[in-house]
């Protein structure tokens, strides 16, 4: 069965590599990027099911990446990560087409559950 | 009330403090996220690559990782409170749910209550109490009276925060079991100007300042003695007009 293919985008390299390793241990294929340009570059090369984007990053933020993904790859599900105590950016992201949002630090089980739910009907794991 | 240059400068000052505090709390959360993920990864690696059967400290490792995860979660809760508090300085007037604000203040004040060995409790109304106000200043008034209650309440007694509404006004009632001081409190909160001489103790609050802030918010403060001991402080602020 095909593994879930995930793209993690966060400017904190330690965070993204650690989370990627954990997701791989849970049977997923994971690509990582530390900025928007690299993330969009990966999408040209690889088939991705779910993109997990940090909202606040230097340069291109998560909401801008989300808009670009939805323009070029509308089938990719997007989950936003926000570090703020407010849900404002998350709700804005859902208006822009994100599947859902989670507050950082993320609960791994919750993130995995959200990713699986987001691709239900489009992906057979 | 007409805004003076001093009001505008104070609002800008608070917005600056709030912005910097919110940014710092955001950074702390990012660091906590890395600590949480790293300890989680160690746990996953232990789980997916079981250690040799003679590794008798293995359960202890798992226990310690669980402790790290618990402390990370606790820290995240504290930083989230700090973040919300910092954001309360963003705008001088917002529409807010009073019970949520009171719950936040209750959370922030719990440590002070623990240090005084006094129980801090809430009895918040079931319905929504929406007020349009300056959240930072209202928190300052409510916290000031909770702090006053904690300073004067005897050990093992209670300070209680209650909310409700009457005649178009939201009502916040703070009761304590300290010595009755209603007359002094009422005199101070109705003073025409603030004086530092009225500050109660080293870390106390000038009640005259709280009275002036409440008036600026369009509200009022009233104290009553409770029998045989205690005080009931009622803070009233206008509910948001429909």
B32 CA: distance to closest CA in chain A (Å)? 7
Say how far apart CA B117 and CA B110 lie, in whole Å. Answer: 10
ipTM of the complex: 0.74
Confidence at residue A37, expressed as pLDDT on a 0 to 100 scale = 95
Q: With an 8 Å Cβ cutoff, are A22 and B41 in contact?
A: yes
Task: Give the one of A22, A86, A104 whose C-beta lies nearest to B40's C-beta.
Answer: A22
- Please tell me if residue B38 touches chain A, with a CB cutoff of 8 Å: yes
Q: Would you say B62 and B44 are in contact if contact means Cβ atoms under 8 Å apart?
A: no
B97 CA: distance to closest CA in chain A (Å)? 15
Least confident interval from A19-28, A49-58, A89-98, B184-193: B184-193
pTM score, whole prediction: 0.72
- Please tell me if residue B96 touches chain A, with a CB cutoff of 8 Å: no
- Please tell me if residue B33 touches chain A, with a CB cutoff of 8 Å: yes
Query: How many CB atoms within 10 Å of residue B150?
Result: 21
Interface test mutation site (partner B, options A104, A108, A111, max chain B beta carbons within 10 A): A104
Confidence at residue B176, expressed as pLDDT on a 0 to 100 scale = 96
- What is the C-alpha end-to-end distance of chain A, expressed in Å? 5
Confidence at residue A85, expressed as pLDDT on a 0 to 100 scale = 56
Q: With an 8 Å Cβ cutoff, are A105 and B87 in contact?
A: no
Q: With an 8 Å Cβ cutoff, are B30 and A15 in contact?
A: yes
Q: What is the mean pLDDT of each run of 10 residues along chain B (242 residues)?
A: 72 82 85 91 86 79 90 89 83 88 93 93 92 91 94 94 93 95 91 62 69 92 93 94 66
Q: From A23, which residue of chain B is nearest by alpha-carbon distance? A: B41
**A·B CB contacts under 8 A:** 52
Among residues A102, A118, A108, the alpha carbon closest in space to that of A62 is found at A102
B46 CA: distance to closest CA in chain A (Å)? 11
Q: With an 8 Å Cβ cutoff, are B48 and A25 in contact?
A: yes
DSSP per residue over B109-138, as a string? HHHHHHHHT-EEEEE--SS--EEEE-HHHH
DSSP per residue over A98-119, as a string? -SEEEESSPPHHHHHHHHHHHT
For residue B107, give Cα distances in angstroms to B19, B103, B236: 21, 6, 21
Q: With an 8 Å Cβ cutoff, are A106 and B26 in contact?
A: no
């Amino acid at each position: 069965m095909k593994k879930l293919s995930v793209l993690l985008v966060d400017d904190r390299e330690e965070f993204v590599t650690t989370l990627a390793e954990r997701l791989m241990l849970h049977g997923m294929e994971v690509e990582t990027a530390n900025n928007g340009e690299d993330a969009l570059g990966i999408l040209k090369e690889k088939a991705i099911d779910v993109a997990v984007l940090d909202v606040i990053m230097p340069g291109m933020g998560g909401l801008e990446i989300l808009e670009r993904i939805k323009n070029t790859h509308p089938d990719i599900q997007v989950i936003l990560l926000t570090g703020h105590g407010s849900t404002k950016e998350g709700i804005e992201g859902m208006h822009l087409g994100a599947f859902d949002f989670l507050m950082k630090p993320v609960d791994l089980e919750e993130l995995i559950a959200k990713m699986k739910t987001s691709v239900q009907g489009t992906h057979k794991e | 009330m007409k805004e003076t240059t001093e009001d505008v400068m104070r609002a800008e000052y608070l917005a600056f403090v709030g912005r910097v505090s919110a940014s710092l709390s955001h950074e702390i959360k990012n660091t906590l996220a890395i600590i949480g993920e790293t300890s989680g990864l160690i746990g996953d690696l232990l789980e997916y690559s079981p250690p040799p059967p003679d590794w008798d400290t293995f359960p202890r490792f798992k226990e310690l990782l669980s402790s790290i995860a618990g402390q990370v979660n606790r820290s995240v809760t504290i930083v989230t409170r700090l973040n919300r508090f910092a954001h309360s300085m963003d705008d001088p007037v917002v529409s807010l749910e009073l019970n949520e604000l009171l719950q936040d203040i209750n959370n922030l004040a719990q440590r002070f209550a623990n240090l005084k060995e006094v129980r801090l409790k809430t009895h918040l109304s079931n319905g929504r109490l929406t007020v349009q106000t300056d959240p930072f200043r209202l928190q300052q008034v409510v916290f000031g009276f909770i702090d006053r209650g904690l300073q004067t309440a005897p050990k093992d007694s209670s300070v209680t925060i209650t909310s409700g509404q009457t005649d178009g006004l939201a009502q916040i009632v703070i009761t304590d079991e300290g010595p009755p001081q209603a007359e002094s409190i009422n005199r101070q909160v109705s003073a025409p100007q603030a004086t530092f001489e009225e500050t109660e103790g080293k870390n106390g609050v000038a009640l005259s300042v709280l009275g002036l802030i409440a008036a600026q918010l369009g509200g009022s403060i009233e104290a009553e003695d409770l029998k045989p001991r205690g005080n009931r402080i009622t803070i009233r602020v206008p509910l948001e007009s429909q």
